[in-house]
Amino acid sequence: MHLRKLGPFQVSAIGLGCMNLSHAYGAPVSAEQGERVLLSALDAGVTLFDTAALYGFGANEILVGRVLKPHRQKFTLASKCGMQGVDVNGDGKLLRVIDGRPQTIRKTCEDSLRRLQTDVIDLYYLHRWDKKVPVEDSVGALSDLVRKGHIRSIGLSEVSAATLRRAHAVHPIAAVQTEYSLWTRNPEIAVLDACKELGVAFVAFSPVARGFLCGQLQDVNTLDAKDIRRSMPRFAPDTYAANLKLLPAYQQVAQEVGCSPAQLALAWLLHRGEHIIPIPGTTSVAHLAEDLAAVDLRLSPAVMARLDALINQKNVVGSRYNAQGNSEVDTEDF
């Protein structure tokens, strides 16, 4: 497995986003299947595992902690705070809440350490910037956790270049995590270059466009009732039908290169910059192996240019988030 720099760590050029095993795309997989995927990733050379307090309202951290505890020295562990499940109404039902207050960050870290069965989290992200709290205050709380030895480095998720610079002035930021793929180009506005300038790794989540670039999802009406894509404008039936028209030419490039559509999407990201680390998620060991093989692909400048022209912010239909989701992120928008 090729390596890339992430803060003080050298990690696999492709990491594993663990969310899919417990959260967001329908019913979670069985504990046994989750264990198979995690251990297969470790065996294949993946050394960056990414989870969060939000995923499954703690269930994903519990899974990752239980399965990977015996191998803790072999990988870089990333988790997130600032967005988690809270019993707001006192009825036992957890609701997603964004809360970046220092006291909440400290409590969330304690809970995550317990669930992950570890003494230290290598990379701890602010999952969303709580706009009611100055980012300097939230990052200050994270820097206190670094000094106490509870976390080793700090990350930010879905922030703008300006917010990154404000945070970086308080404490060095190791990584920014934001959605990035051929069909989500927002990082190219400013934050991708800001990361490169500041020596910050850029971790790309949803690198295969939440499955769109795999080419296998033809009918969004087949999605699980609880699949988060049902609330995303790009996956509304009419807009998705329009976006599907982009796929045949893209699949033709994959065929010419001699790879799968998913591998082409990941290779494109890896070629966009040495500081970019994609973290695809999957519930399948076979798909995991397919994704990881993308590290060995070499794309010519001509192929990169074709891909850039085929799928980009000018021809993808629909916003990536609904109104609420857009209000919660700080990323630049076209």
Give catalytic residue positions.
55
Distance CA 327, CA 329 (A): 6
* The two three-digit tokens of residue 235, written as one number: 């996956």
Tokens for 99, please give them: 């809360």
Please enumerate in sequence order all residues whose Cβ is within 8 A of that of 172, keeping only pairs 6 or more positions apart, or say none: 7, 153, 154
What is the residue type of 328?
E
Report the alpha-carbon distance of residue 282 to residue 16 in Å, rounded.
8
Give residues with Cβ within 8 angstroms of 72, minimum separation 6. 118
Question: Measured between alpha carbons, how far is 104 from 79 in angstroms, rounded to an integer?
Answer: 15
Q: Which long-range contacts (CB under 8 A, 24 or more apart) does 86-95 make?
A: 94/57
Classified as helix, coil or strand, 225 is coil
